[in-house]
Amino acid sequence: DTAVSQTPKYLVTQMGNDKSIKCEQNLGHDTMYWYKQDSKKFLKIMFSYNNKELIINETVPNRFSPKSPDKAHLNLHINSLELGDSAVYFCASSQGAGGSLDTQYFGPGTRLTVL
Amino acid sequence: AQSVTQLDSQVPVFEEAPVELRCNYSSSVSVYLFWYVQYPNQGLQLLLKYLSGSTLVKGINGFEAEFNKSQTSFHLRKPSVHISDTAEYFCAVTDRSNTGKLIFGQGTTLQVKP
């Protein structure tokens, strides 16, 4: 059973389109995260949610909007896609209130390519 | 604010040789330290973490790391590597707040050759 799953695994789209990436965790965790990994493999946190409440909101363009319908799901919607949005997006989850002690479990990633 | 520097972008090593992947961090407050591994086309997996106590931390797959506060380092070591250890390794730091915000280094590619 996959603990943290993401769909789709690959996403190829045109500039200007709107797309969503879905994330689900079956670990019973309270906190979920989105990370972006660029072409140089640099990883940076974008958002975190704890029990559907936004906790971390880094300096990410407003075109990115996370949505958490319940604590097991955290989706990422991206409007007006740009070339620079091409990256691998990782979802992660951790138990508890997202404290720094908690281990984060990562999904397999979604490779987004904007043409 | 915290930052992490992984001093080597690539480390080639022969199978069964020892390896050290270097990580230095910068922070004005106390931190927790982590090493994650990313196998090809997979997500990240926690190798080990330092929270407090003994400065030598043992993790999965025979890896260990030593926290050195005076040198602000958290180097990862393995006495004998296998081909299956070929992967990307990330050092990360977080402050001791309640946000869980991980700051990652640039990653080190470990290439184990037969």
What is the band of B40 on the pLDDT scale with cuts at 50, 70, 90?
A: confident
A45 interfacial to chain B (CB closer than 8 Å): yes
CA closest to B37 among chain A residues: A106
Q: pLDDT digits over A62-72, tens only?
A: 999 999 999 89
CATH architecture of the domain formed by A4-114: Sandwich (2.60)
* Stated length of chain B: 114
The pLDDT of residue A97 is above 70: no
A33 interfacial to chain B (CB closer than 8 Å): yes
Domain boundaries, chain A: 4-114
- Contact call for A106 and B45, based on CB within 8 A: yes
Domains with residue ranges and CATH for chain B? 3-113 (2.60.40.10)
Which residue is associated with the tokens 């896609």? A81
Counted across chains A and B, CB pairs separated by less than 8 A come out at 66
The pLDDT of residue A100 is above 70: no
The pLDDT of residue B88 is above 70: yes
Query: In chain B, what residues touch A40 (CB-CB under 8 Å)?
Result: 106
For residues B19-50, b (16+ Cβ closer than 10 Å) or e, as one string? bebbbbbebeeebbbbbbbbeeeebbebbbbb
